[in-house]
Amino acid sequence: MEQAREAGATGSDVEVAAWISAATERITSYTQQCFEPTVMVVVADVAPDGLVLLPRRVRTVTAVTPVLDGGDGTSLPPSAYRVTSSDVLGGVDAVHLRWGGYDDLIVGAESYNGGWRGLFDRWGAEQAKVTGEFGYATVPVLVAQACALLAAHTQGQAAPSDADTTAAPGLDVDDEGNNVRIEDTDDDAAEPLPPSASTGSTQVDALLVGYLNRGHSLIGGI
């Protein structure tokens, strides 16, 4: 919050926190990244070799479920896949399916039937639903600075003129003329934010360019 104030954000702690929250949403939409550990569910395509590239930096995976035409398939055990993460230098965020293992108590996944790999091949699933924790361990310094600058920038853009205040008496305006009402009444507020071409600030865009994630499928659910 102190960074946002130093960047030019004004008002009470609640008001500044609201602008920081608005800036965070814009940054998430622009980068398609999570900058702190976040539990979520993602849906991603399965390559012919069983590679599932994940759309965010993965930390841990708790469940992998093939997506089938009639609904979700049987959740795979940890022995049926391995996880790699870009948190390790040179690593890629992915789940590698068909890694082996079997379960003689699951029809189709028995050892004599090809195990989990054989069952997955017979499923013919083109997508997998992955549940786990995604995001950076800590917010990168440049991202924190970008968020502070964007919070101040967004507040400045939202400040109405006297004419705007007269024309729109429903605005909540503080003593400095800032619109401090930030409400989200959209019923789909819990849905993932769609990709954005910009945060609204070229300066902030430049700071975040190294964190853009445009190459993979987007979040399927949170």
Query: What secondary structure does DSSP assign to the chain, as a single string?
Result: -HHHHHHT--S-HHHHHHHHHHHHHHHHHHH---SS-EEEEEEEE--TTSEEE-SS-EEEEEEEEEEETTEE-PPBPGGGEEEE-TTSTT---EEEE------TTSTT-SGGGTHHHHHHHHHT-SEEEEEEEES-SS--HHHHHHHHHHHHHHHHHHPPPHHHHHH-TT--B-TTS-B-------TTTTSPPPP-S--S-HHHHHHHGGG---SSPPP-B-
122 contacts: CB under 8 Å, gap ≥ 6: 108
As averages over each run of 10 residues, the pLDDT of the chain (222 residues) reads: 86 90 91 90 88 91 88 81 90 84 82 82 85 93 93 84 46 47 42 75 91 58 38
pLDDT recorded at residue 171: 44
pLDDT recorded at residue 172: 52
Please name which of 67, 1, 59, 57 lies closest in space to residue 34, comparing C-alpha atoms.
57
CB distance 125 to 68 below 8 Å? yes
pTM of the predicted model, to two decimals? 0.69
Please name which of 93, 113, 92, 91 lies closest in space to residue 102, comparing C-alpha atoms.
113
